[in-house]
Structure 1
Amino acid sequence: MGVVAPTGLGSERHWERTLRGESAIGRITAFDPEPYSSGLAGEITGFVPAEHLSARLLPQTDHMTRLALAAAAWAIEDAGVDPDGLPEFGMGVVTASSAGGFEFGHRELDKLWRLGPEHVSAYQSFAWFYAVNSGQISIRHGLRGPSGVLVTEQAGGLDAVAQARRRVRAGTPVMVCGSVDGSPCPWGWVAQLAGGRISPVDDPARAYLPFDEDATGHVPGDGGALFVLESEEGARERGLTSWHGEIAGYAATFDPPPGSGRPSTLRRAVELALDDAGLAPDAIGAVFADGSGTAADDRTEAAALREVFGPYGVPVTVPKTMTGRLSAGGAALDLATTLLALRHGEIPPTVNVSRPVPEYELDLVTRPRRTALSAVLVVARGHGGFNAAMVVTRRHGPHDLRVPERAHVPESVRSPG
């Protein structure tokens, strides 16, 4: 896996800060947030594009595509896979996106308005597009296998991994999958504010409080994670004896429209994912919840978890309280954090939540909790009715990735950890 998050570049840096409960949410620096009703975000700092991408790529890529290209290179390096050593169509890529390259598009629209059409970059034709990350990753690494993009908002990070799982089961040896997302620009910010779900609170420690009596919405952010996915048989044929984890179960459902009087199908998604994994609820050691931060959504999610696991039946955590909700990248980052939790045997905390709603009856983890973990459930909900649930297991002991030969990745794109 390759991680690019407000909490750190690289999985180890992200994990260290997350386990310490260090929030990366603060006042927006990418632009002046003063004219807007909300001004907090989880921003990635310390990422210098020129250190990770060639000069040729810089003028044609948006901020989030640059992050995605770095994360993909780190994931491929971590997996020790050489795309050139696979069959011509043996490696593909599927990502998720909620906005595309909004920052790039904002900049080019500004040029159009101020200077005229002749000043608009030709790269605008694709740099804004939802599928641009999949395209640029496939071009950079010569991936000619199945490719695609899913647009299911916050649920997209899990849905993309599940789609890659289908392609592997259908015979593609290796897939790159996951999501890096975000739109740190005025155009993207206005689009998010229009949804009415962003917290108006100015205090970073009080703005995003899922399952709390003081919940007022969420804080956005940018980042996510990308993964290399393959079958166990394929991994062993490459000489691997251990890996980060296994996708044991997955399901997706779609909620009925608001006002229909019909209940959410989130519980059904969780039950189907457990069935797909062949596990009973009591086998799950922790739940990485969606944690919308809005009272209605939190109530629905808490009810689904309570109905499946029982009152206080499973530890529940929302580590994205340290990064904000990263649109399609949020669930992918949750998946990466889940894999790290399985490896280290620790559940990272939900920070800043001090008054959990008693009626939810959740065992909310607000401090790091050391415990043996063998299976974890990740829940993601996308605005508009998308539900996704994924069961992740760890069956091969502590992380000890051993490969026959490291893939050749230029020093400039190697992971910081």
Structure 2
Amino acid sequence: MTAVVTGIGVTAPNGLGVEAYWKAALDGKGGLGPLTRFDATQYPTRIAGEVDGFDAAEHLPSRLIPQTDHMTRLALKAADEALADAAVDTAALDEYGMGVITGASGGGVEFGHRELQNLWSKGKEYVSAYQSFAWFYAVNTGQISIRHGLRGPSGVLVTDQASGIDALGHARRQLRRGTGLVVSGGVDGALCPWGWVAQIATGELSRVDDPERAYLPFSAEASGYVPGEGGALLVVEEAEAARARGAHQVYGEIAGYAATLDPKPGSGRPPGLERA
């Protein structure tokens, strides 16, 4: 069994769509800047990666807007692009032979923040019925599955920054079990006061206000991480199934997958990653 990538969709702070994102990458253009989604002047961290120029109403049916968090709207846009890029006609394939596996570090916390604010300030009558699922970390998988009729094996992984990569590993696993196609990757976003305070509490956020210096992960001057929103979704297919449906491109192969955890610092145990 060979797992190949046939479609890509991106919603990122430095590019909405694959073409814009790839150009920004080639130009060395970052996506960090002062946080504008809410007033962050009283917080110790004020820099974030926001997806600029994204108007959900331009990309999604109006019925989806009130029932989705900003994070999920970005995920739906990325899934649409990935499936279009792969030229997949989902109506022509077995709906139970296609699945969705996404990664997340949290969920639709902006939606949840707003509804909890309504509850506390106005009362339970003002809380949206969509709060029952719009905040949930598995909601991206569910909404993509419903929108495109992908009713095969699906799931979600919550493994923080590793979620997107882990999701692709599990997508490959489903292909090995007989699923023909999986939409997989990670899209997240927690740029709201609730999500912001939760991340500040870790003590690991950068407090540098210069977007060019706030995130320096491989430098002695590193001061922490900077939250962002968005992500990428891929169409992953079994190679023979992709050829059978006439897939016109293959970006690459997922040749294998493994995951480990390093031991607690100071434990005296060796790192989980073995070096050749």
The interval holding the TM-score normalised by the smaller chain is: over 0.9
Which residue of structure 1 aligns with residue 182 of structure 2?
Answer: 175
Which residue of structure 2 aligns with residue 211 of structure 1?
Answer: 218
For residues 217 and 77 of structure 2, the distance between their equivalents in structure 1, rounded to whole angstroms, comes to: 30
In the alignment, does 2:106 pair up with 1:122? no
TM-score for both structures, normalised by structure 1: 0.63
Give the aligned length: 269
Task: Classify the secondary structure of the residue corresponding to 1:253.
Answer: coil
For residues 167 and 16 of structure 1, the distance between their equivalents in structure 2, rounded to whole angstroms, comes to: 33
In the alignment, does 2:253 pair up with 1:246? yes
C-alpha RMSD of the superposition = 1.1
User: Where in structure 2 are the equivalents of 1:10-159 lying within 5 Å?
Assistant: 10-159=17-166
Task: Classify the secondary structure of the residue corresponding to 1:254.
Answer: coil
Amino acid aligned to 2:61: S
List per-residue Cα deviations over 1:101-157 (Å, max 9, x = no partner). 000000001001100111100000000001000000001111110110000000110
Which residue of structure 2 aligns with residue 317 of structure 1?
Answer: none
Where does structure 1 lack aligned partners over 5 or more consecutive residues? 269-306, 309-417
For residues 91 and 13 of structure 2, the distance between their equivalents in structure 1, rounded to whole angstroms, comes to: 32
Runs of 4+ in 1 over 3 A off after TM superposition: none
Task: Classify the secondary structure of the residue corresponding to 1:224.
Answer: strand
Task: Classify the secondary structure of the residue corresponding to 1:56.
Answer: helix
Task: Classify the secondary structure of the residue corresponding to 1:89.
Answer: helix
List per-residue Cα deviations over 1:342-379 (Å, max 9, x = no partner). xxxxxxxxxxxxxxxxxxxxxxxxxxxxxxxxxxxxxx
For residues 127 and 241 of structure 1, the distance between their equivalents in structure 2, rounded to whole angstroms, comes to: 35
For residues 240 and 177 of structure 1, the distance between their equivalents in structure 2, rounded to whole angstroms, comes to: 17
Amino acid aligned to 1:80: A
Task: Classify the secondary structure of the residue corresponding to 2:155.
Answer: strand
For residues 139 and 121 of structure 1, the distance between their equivalents in structure 2, rounded to whole angstroms, comes to: 20
Aligned-residue offset at 1:241: 4.9
Task: Classify the secondary structure of the residue corresponding to 2:178.
Answer: coil
Aligned-residue offset at 1:259: 4.1
User: Where in structure 2 are the equivalents of 1:231-270 lying within 5 Å?
Assistant: 231-265=238-272, 267-268=273-274
For residues 249 and 13 of structure 2, the distance between their equivalents in structure 1, rounded to whole angstroms, comes to: 28
Greater CA drift, 101-110 or 201-210:
201-210
Percent of matched pairs sharing the same residue: 62
Aligned-residue offset at 1:258: 4.2
Aligned-residue offset at 1:88: 3.3
Aligned-residue offset at 1:196: 1.1
In the alignment, does 2:231 pair up with 1:224? yes
